[in-house]
Amino acid sequence: MTIAVYPGTFDPITNGHSDIVARAAILFDKVIVAVAASPGKGPMFSIEQRVALAKEALADIKNAEICQFDNLLVDFASQHDATVILRGLRAVSDFEYEFQLAGINRRLAPDVETLFLRPAEQYAYISSSLVREVAGLGGDVSEFIHPVVQAALKCRNS
């Protein structure tokens, strides 16, 4: 069984994230969406809320599992028998940082491979931070996120 881990803060999960999970679910037996605690980023939603939103947004993807983590990613991958770390690349500007992460992860866990996936073209410009910003200013973000995420954002911004 080939298991891939797709880590991120997912604050909130977007249609771009969902697209990557859906496509990865075709390639791997199991895709673990690893929601990072990331307290240093000061997330809008709690870890429990982000996990719950991801579970609802990805409910139709049967081989996707959503977990939270707050330890070293390669340790999390090892604990879950994952041999692949998935990372999304929206633009060239993402590459340098992702390349550094892949390099350090390879040094820490040579048996875990990092693979990069690009979201579908219509999602390539979406980021969680832009969704939060637009929603916070009262803009319509319905085409960028799952309806349950939109409802959660409306509650937060009311």
Catalytic residue among 17, 30, 87, 132: 17
CB contact at 8 A, 51 and 66: yes
Residue type, 14: T
What phi and psi, each to the nearest 5 degrees, are found at residue 46?
A: -65, 165
Catalytic residue among 87, 128, 132, 146: 128
The answer to whether 128 is a known catalytic residue is yes
Alpha helices in 38-118 (DSSP H): 47-57, 73-79, 92-108
Integer Cα distance of 64 and 54 in angstroms? 10
The answer to whether 80 is a known catalytic residue is no
The answer to whether 55 is a known catalytic residue is no
Catalytic residue among 55, 80, 90, 156: 90
> What is the DSSP code (8-state) at residue 85?
E
Best CA proximity match to 36, nearest among 19, 54, 23, 21 = 54
CB atoms within 10 A of CB 74: 20
Cα 44 → chain centroid: 15
The answer to whether 132 is a known catalytic residue is no
| Catalytic annotation, residues | 17, 41, 90, 128
